[in-house]
Amino acid sequence: MLRKTSSLEIARTINTVVFDKTGTLTIGEMQVIDLTFAAHPALKISLSELFTAIHTVEADNSHPVARAITRYLIGQGVSKSSLSDYSQTSGQGVAARVIIGAVELPVLIGTPASILKATFTFPRELQDAIARAEMNGHSISVVAIDGVALATIEVGDTIKPDAEKSIAALKNANMETWLITGDNQSSADEISKLVGISADHVIAQASPEDKVLLIKKLHKDGKKVLMLGDGINDAAALVESDLSMAMGTGTDTAISSADITLLRPTLFAALDAINLSKRTLRTIKGNLLWAFAYNVVGIPIAALGFLDPMYAGAAMAGSSLFVVLNSLRIKVRQTR
């Protein structure tokens, strides 16, 4: 779905494609793989209270990792409490004050790097859980309550079935491919290997600002950049790129920031959009060339009286029919 017709003109010039990971190269339907709890003697919080706090904070978060955590907790029958002072920092996590028992405590859920800034250290159990998740190429969230890291949640995703073939097709079309994600380096490296993006074109633990900086760097190198993303974290980079595409299953922010929304949840749809733009422009130029040549030859002949008006009218209708049929070839090829 096009937001502006100029996207068709721009698409044919694209030579570099930048992918977000979650929800773009992967299905985005994540699942909780493991949950590690490390009790703290100074903080008397039960596992059920911890689950309630997590559910309360993540319930309205649209990030795929948060949605997976919420689905898991709902499946476990975990209820919600009340919260206040909710805030979300793109690429880092969420924070809020939640009533736990009879006390209101600050709860942080986010990446290990962001949570480490708010706590002194991670217990050995959580350090081991983080290492396992990174080795498996999975996302890992750390939960801290009142400044104490209490739990980690390992979440895994599945690569889209057509991801590897789509990347290969882009490379065959002489396009450069990049992966930039807010996830950890191990997760990014694992995904890049599976889909065929070279290791030197992978940027992990990227903030929304880092994504914009990559687009600007590629522009400085003379690249025409297509950005594909689906999350709030991608919105600024989508606006900065020459052409942007958002997955139809993505957030409203990403969709409203993108030039094209892919209604099919496949990466081949992005390649189809680029090829469609090239075919459309070729057809437009062909129609213009035909109309110009026809009129250059036909008008003088008709004006000098060498052509009967009836035949001139038929020739004009035939010319218009040619243009229509030539344009319909785009639709025929698109439906094959």
Structure tokens at 147: 């400044």
At residue 39's C-alpha, the angle toward residues 35 and 41, to 5°, is: 170
Encoded amino acid at 54, one letter: I
Encoded amino acid at 294, one letter: Y
CA dist 326 and 288 (Å) reads 11
CA dist 30 and 138 (Å) reads 10
Backbone φ and ψ for 307, nearest 5 degrees, come out as: -130, 130
Backbone φ and ψ for 276, nearest 5 degrees, come out as: -60, -40
CA dist 94 and 55 (Å) reads 12
Please list, in sequence order, all residues whose beta carbon lies within 8 angstroms of the beta carbon of residue 188, skipping any fewer than 6 positions away.
21, 179, 181, 202, 203, 204
Closest CA to 54 of 137, 191, 190, 153: 153
CA dist 220 and 217 (Å) reads 5
- Number of C-beta neighbours around residue 253 at 10 A: 18
Backbone φ and ψ for 138, nearest 5 degrees, come out as: -100, 160
> With contact defined as beta carbons under 8 Å apart, do 121 and 96 qualify?
no
CA dist 245 and 320 (Å) reads 34
Half-sphere exposure of 73 (CA within 13 A, CB side): 25
CA dist 256 and 252 (Å) reads 6
221 is catalytic: no
Selected catalytic residue, list 20, 157, 183, 242: 20
Catalytic residue numbers, as ranges: 20
